[in-house]
Amino acid sequence: MRNQSTSLNLLVVAAIVFLAAASAVAQTTSEYLITGQVRDESNQRVSGAWVFAVPHDYDKVRNAPRALSDAEGNFVIPVGRPAQYKIYPEKSAAGHYVQFSPYFRHPSVPITEVILGESNRTASVIVPLSPKNGALAGRILDENTGRPVETARFLFCLGANKKLCWATSSKAPAGEFKILVAHEPFTLRVVADGYLDWLGINGLENESISIASGATLNVVLHLRRRAEAMSRALSESEKHRFVHLQAPIQSSPADRAELKGRFPARHTRLEWQPVEGAVSYRVEIDYCDGLVKGRRECLNPQPHSPEMRWPVQVLATSYEFRFVGSQPGRWRVWAIDKNGQEGFKSPWWTFFYLE
């Protein structure tokens, strides 16, 4: 992964989750196997960690086989073919973020690599799990109204190397967030539609921030509206029934629908009923955590792709796209009137790709 620009590093979010969700259909047998054990910084065995085998040609094949470590920390990954692999463990739920992105790399934890070929079809390795990451947590509020800011985008860059960056989104009705951060000092920029960018901790200066391993820094961010957004409703609570268009009625796929399709053919079509007075619509699509196969809830929703960091605008009452992986997703839609004013948003509807 080359670290040439901020825009390139913004793609890391999609790559990490795609690595988890599109890690293809697991094979039960294979001539090529990577086995091993996950251990933490105290050399203790780690159970319940995902272990990814990322091939050298991942950008081309988009397939990273994975396995879950058992009660003794052991894992077996059928990779299916000869290649050079980098091995990445992950246990984000316990505070250990995957080091696939250089932004998250711990300076003293090496990346395990193996090469499989005709003469060596299997490899056995001890994979070190990096120490826990620190976390940035808190709420985002509108400085003028005190209401929560539901959706915001966070851009983190290492203080010592501004080209090593990582981005993620926070989407919560109450404006709350909790995000794992780098082991090294980093800078912060928060972006939200209709608001001035927030920098660092105090909102004014993009100073370097350090959070110790396993610690949490709690903050409250009071975002200031842009001048052109002062009279615009930026939250659902600011909209009025007889001023803003009603929410579109969603048609398909039904809420909590199970959809079929294997990578790369997860073609998805969203449909809704027209709204009187609408000249266009905005559609918002998220993917959800896909580490647990068959999960039927939306955890840590993120914009579906870097090109869709913000909702897409369409003229029709349908929208088609190719979903990212075998995992949950969700969508909602709202109407835009002739003055460019946004109407009420529909509820989030969830769908599941289980294969």
User: What span, in angstroms and rounded, lies between the C-alpha atoms of 121 and 288?
Assistant: 35
Range of the domain at 223: 135-229
Sheet holding 250-252, edge to edge: 250-252, 267-272, 318-322
CATH of the domain at 118: 2.60.40.10
CATH of the domain at 156: 2.60.40.1120
- Residue at 1 is within a domain: no
Is 247 within 8 Å of 278 (Cβ atoms)? no
In which band, very low, low, confident or very high, does the pLDDT at 309 lie, cut at 50, 70 and 90? low
What's the domain count of the chain? 3
In which band, very low, low, confident or very high, does the pLDDT at 306 lie, cut at 50, 70 and 90? low
Q: Residue 267: beta bridge partners?
A: 322
- Residue at 234 is within a domain: no
Q: Which residues contact 100 (CB under 8 A, 6 or more apart)?
A: 1, 12, 15, 16, 19, 52, 54, 88
Residue-averaged pLDDT of the chain: 89
Q: What is the pTM of this model?
A: 0.83
Q: pLDDT tens-digit profile of 40-60?
A: 999 999 999 999 999 999 988
Tokens of 39: 């251990």
**DSSP for 18-68?**
HHHHTS-PPPS--SSEEEEEEE-TTS-B--S-EEEEEETTHHHH----EEE
Q: What is the CA radius of gyration of the chain?
A: 22
What's the whole-number mean pLDDT along residues 124-129? 97
Q: 102 and 13, same structural domain?
A: yes
Q: 213 and 294, same structural domain?
A: no
Q: 163 and 75, same structural domain?
A: no
- Residue at 111 is within a domain: yes
- Residue at 96 is within a domain: yes
In which band, very low, low, confident or very high, does the pLDDT at 4 lie, cut at 50, 70 and 90? very low
What's the whole-number mean pLDDT along residues 172-187? 96
What is the pLDDT, as a whole number, of residue 261?
Answer: 82
What is the pLDDT, as a whole number, of residue 290?
Answer: 84
End residue of a domain, out of 229, 247, 267: 229
